[in-house]
Each structure stands twice: as C-alpha cells, then as structure tokens.
Amino acid sequence: MSVVPIIQPIYRTLHHHGITQHGSSSPPPPPRHCRGAPRRRAPALHRRPGRHGSGGNRSMHCVWVGLAEGEHEFSYDPHAENGPDGWGEIKPEWATCSDGRWQSPIDLYHHRAIRRDLGYLNYSYKPAEASIVNRGHDIMVKFKGDAGSLVIDGTVYHLKQLHWHTPTEHALNGHRFSMELHMVHQTPEKKTAVVGILYRVSNLADPFLKSLQPAIERLRGKEEPIGKVNPNHVGLTGSSYFRYMGSLTTPPCTEGIIWTVIPTLRLVASDQLDLLREAVDDGFEMNARPLQEVNHRTIWFRPQPHVSVE
C-alpha cells in the first residue's frame, strides 16, 4: 500500500482560484484519441430566445445540435456557456449548481477545521461483480452486487460505484494534486456518502488502478463487465480524515452529501493519469469542478490517534 502524508509543494501552479496543483511537471496534455473507437466530440451549444427575447440569459433554452449518445450537456471549460459557472442555467433541475450554499468541492484547511475524535472510519468492503463504465466525462467502476458498506452515525451506506477526477477536486491547505478517487455510497433511501482519496504523481503506480488498466484499455462501448473487483485494494486508510456536508460535484449538484476526505496522499504514475485522460471524451481530460465557497459550514477533522484532540 503506497501512501504518503501531506508533504511539500512541488510542481506546477494551477491558475484557478489562486491555488497550486501538485503532481505533473508538464502542462495538461492536449485532447487525444482513446484506444480503439474514435473520440466523441463535445456538442455545439446554440442559444434559442427565451420568454424575454434573445437577450435573456437566465431564460434561455439550450439546444444541442447533433447530440450523440455519450455526449454531454455540461463541460469543465470555464469559458464555455455550458462550463461550471453555467451549469445551473442549463436545466431547471440543475439550479442548485448555481444557487446552492453547500456545494462541493472545497478547500480543506487544517487550521480552519474543528478537531474531533470522530472515531476510526467504519467501513467493511468485499469483492463484488462489477463493470467498467465510460460516462464520457469520467471512468467509473459500477458494482453489481454487495461490495460492502460505510457506517456513519449508525447509518449504513452501501458502496455503489467509484470514479476518478484529474486533477483532484478537493484542495488541501490551498493545494490541488494529481488525481482524486470518489467512492460513492448510498442507503436504500438514496442518502449519499462519498469518500474522497487524493493522489500525487510519482514513479510508482497505484496498484488498484493498475489492476483495472487492461479493462480500461479494451473498453470499446459504454460499459463492459470485468468480473469481481475488491474495493479493499483501493487501500483506503481511515485513521485521519475531514468530514463535512456538501454536494455532488457534477450536475445536478445535489446537496446533503456527507463527504469524507482522506488527507493522506496516495501515489499514482503519470502513465496512469494519461490512461484516464485518454479514455474519456475530448474536453474532459481535466474533469475537476472549481472550488466552491465554504459559506460558514463546519468542517470536522479527525487527526491521527497519537495527536491530541483540542
């Protein structure tokens, strides 16, 4: 299990929200074609006059020309009409992306968090049948059977899927890193809890992603079965973590999500980052939402057991 603590700043500056990104020493790669089938292009967005005429941005309707299967109504391009700042205007049910007060991701600062002994992260995972899914904007492992669960305040959240973002969506003490894995859990009532695991680039490969590399490389359609996948091989460590209430980081940006973010960085190789970037659609190689305002939310931090709790 390759883990390292939060350590020194190293590599490049990400000119977005005034934070630095740690990881690759080279600039973001240009769009590439994935192995196999031709890449799907992002659709063109055209504006149709709304109730108040052609000049009403708030009332405009989005018309997608040539929207093929797998193409997307949203993007991560900050200059596009359907970029992150415009997600809330694309559909009425996405309004929370713009109007929500508890949005994710956020910047997690140790000195601003309230230290509490929340206990060791209570999870129990097991191998389960799964498929690899190309959602266009990311690569996801979807579990078909019982892959185990996470327990928070007595509520059991079952592991449903996991997926990756490059670079990280959450920041730690002002720094973004190379990759973030989200482990998405739900109750039967659809209450959601997500565990975020952060990675920095290294010459050492992440073993879990390495085990999935052949399946990702041969993926030709949208979804293919890959047999049993063991979530324990992710290498989750639960002795120290941040906890806060937030949202989904993609539309519809639903709030009420319990976030657990692990502040111990794992390692990922640069060619593994390339693998994920090549597999998604053009324009989604960098699929991290901009940081959101904390808005007076309480951020909890569970320190390592040997650290005294104030």
Give the residues across from 281 on adjacent strands: none
The DSSP-derived string for 197-243 is: EEEEEESSPPHHHHHHHHHHHH--SSEEEEEEE-GGGG----SSEEE
> Is 137 one of the catalytic residues?
yes
Q: How far is CA 212 from CA 163, 225, 233, 234, 272, in A?
A: 12, 12, 11, 11, 10
Angle at 19 between CA 16 and CA 20, to 5 degrees: 110
Catalytic member of 22, 137, 163, 175: 137
Task: Cite the beta strand spans of 22-100 per DSSP E.
Answer: 44-48, 61-65
Instruction: Quote the tokens at residue 25.
Output: 């020493």
Nearest to 174 by CA among 5, 2, 6: 6
Residues marked active site are found at 137
